Amino acid sequence: MAQIILTYRQSLTNNDGREYTPVACGHQHPDGTWEGWLEFVPSDGEDVVQSPRETMQSNRSDLAHWAGGLTSVYFEGALDRALASSPVAIAGASEPPV
């Protein structure tokens, strides 16, 4: 099951003027490693978009450390990647990216 790792206070605006709040999410694999991705929650209540997998970490603590070090520039690139793939309609933490 996916978990929310960190919800960020900052928001970002894409080229169309839509504002998003990034959320780091993760999922533990059977071997104990953690997969991480970002979800972008639009302020207008439309569908949340999800990036492809952004990282693999050896444990949840390392995933949280990764999430805590992300920058605005990283969010911009991840939002572009998320919007380039098929948007996924989700509420809160979703299933891991395919």
Structure confidence by residue, pLDDT tens digits, 13-59: 998 899 999 999 999 999 999 999 999 999 999 999 999 999 999 99
Distance (Å, whole) CA 33 – CA 8: 23
DSSP secondary structure code for residue 83 in this structure: H
Reported pTM: 0.86
Confidence of residue 4 (pLDDT cuts 50, 70, 90): very high
What is the token pair recorded at 95? 């299933």
What is the token pair recorded at 34? 């953690």
What is the token pair recorded at 43? 């302020």
What is the token pair recorded at 22? 């990034």
pLDDT at 87 > cutoff 80? no
**Can you give the pLDDT at residue 18?**
94
Distance (Å, whole) CA 75 – CA 91: 20
**Can you give the pLDDT at residue 85?**
81
